[in-house]
Chains A and B, each alone.
Chain A
Amino acid sequence: QKEVEQNSGPLSVPEGAIASLNCTYSDRVSQSFFWYRQYSGKSPELIMSIYSNGDKEDGRFTAQLNKASQYVSLLIRDSQPSDSATYLCAVGVPALNNDMRFGAGTRLTVKP
């Protein structure tokens, strides 16, 4: 089982819709969770971090964490074509000396 799993997509949504991205992780004691956005040919950039169960909102982005079910999600409201990118889920792995592992990423396309 991979440490961090995401649906590779591609996920396509119309402009203005809500995009929902999901991620599951295997290490039950993980405490730190992140979403990164990566445009084609660019390096990943941090969008959201979340450490506690529940929702965390930042502008059009909402991260949701459920440690009991070992999943973390990212919602993008009012999706824009500029949101088209690959979204990477990252999880801190205490069993690996607090290393950081990434999912394979979900490619999102927002169609005008």
Chain B
Amino acid sequence: GAGVSQSPSNKVTEKGKDVELRCDPISGHTALYWYRQSLGQGLEFLIYFQGNSAPDKSGLPSDRFSAERTGGSVSTLTIQRTQQEDSAVYLCASSPPGRANSPLHFGNGTRLTVT
């Protein structure tokens, strides 16, 4: 079966523009996570979905960041008025239902560059 799919794989945008990053999780996975990873750094938590609801949005760095998930499947992370410090790799991961905290399956990420 297909793994977690993220698109686009690379995105270059001008400062001030809005961008949308897409994550298509593994079919049947109810939990979906967004992380951000700057060059040489660890994973910075952004937001976590359980189904369509987001019990933990605490990692979103500012109100320019938002995310939604529809139909318990695809999620979109939107960054408005992008800034250069938003440049990073944005990783999406999903995990199956059942046991709390099943291992995460990561997508290949979207590399965002804000010029």
State whether the Cβ of B101 lies closer than 8 Å to any Cβ in chain A.
yes
Chain A's nearest CB lies how many Å from the CB of B57? 11
Which residues of chain B are within 8 angstroms of A101 by Cβ–Cβ distance?
Answer: 45
Which residues of chain A are within 8 angstroms of B107 by Cβ–Cβ distance?
Answer: 43
Residues of B in contact with A (beta carbons under 8 Å apart): 33, 35, 41-43, 45, 48, 50, 55-56, 58, 91, 95, 99-101, 103-109
Chain A's nearest CB lies how many Å from the CB of B42? 4
A side interface size, CB within 8 A = 24
Cα-based distance from A32 to B100 in the complex (angstroms): 8
Residues of A in contact with B (beta carbons under 8 Å apart): 31-32, 34, 36, 42-46, 49, 88, 90, 92, 94, 96-105
Given A44-B43, A88-B42, also A100-B101 (CB < 8 A): yes
Q: Evaluate contact between A43 and B91: CB separation under 8 angstroms.
A: yes
Cα-based distance from A81 to B48 in the complex (angstroms): 35
Which residue of A45, A94, A103, A104 contacts B106 across the interface (Cβ within 8 Å)?
A45
Which residues of chain A are within 8 angstroms of B101 by Cβ–Cβ distance?
Answer: 31-32, 92, 98, 100
Which residues of chain B are within 8 angstroms of A36 by Cβ–Cβ distance?
Answer: 104
Cα-based distance from A90 to B33 in the complex (angstroms): 13
Given A43-B106, A44-B106, A90-B104, also A97-B56 (CB < 8 A): yes
Chain B's nearest CB lies how many Å from the CB of A62? 17
Which residues of chain B are within 8 angstroms of A42 by Cβ–Cβ distance?
Answer: 108
Which residues of chain B are within 8 angstroms of A34 by Cβ–Cβ distance?
Answer: 103-104
In this complex, the member of A42, A43, A104 whose beta carbon has the largest number of chain B beta carbons within 10 angstroms is: A43
Which residues of chain A are within 8 angstroms of B35 by Cβ–Cβ distance?
Answer: 102
Cα-based distance from A36 to B105 in the complex (angstroms): 10
Q: Evaluate contact between B33 and A100: CB separation under 8 angstroms.
A: yes
Cα-based distance from A36 to B48 in the complex (angstroms): 19
Which residues of chain A are within 8 angstroms of B106 by Cβ–Cβ distance?
Answer: 43-45
Cα-based distance from A109 to B42 in the complex (angstroms): 17
Q: Evaluate contact between A97 and B41: CB separation under 8 angstroms.
A: no
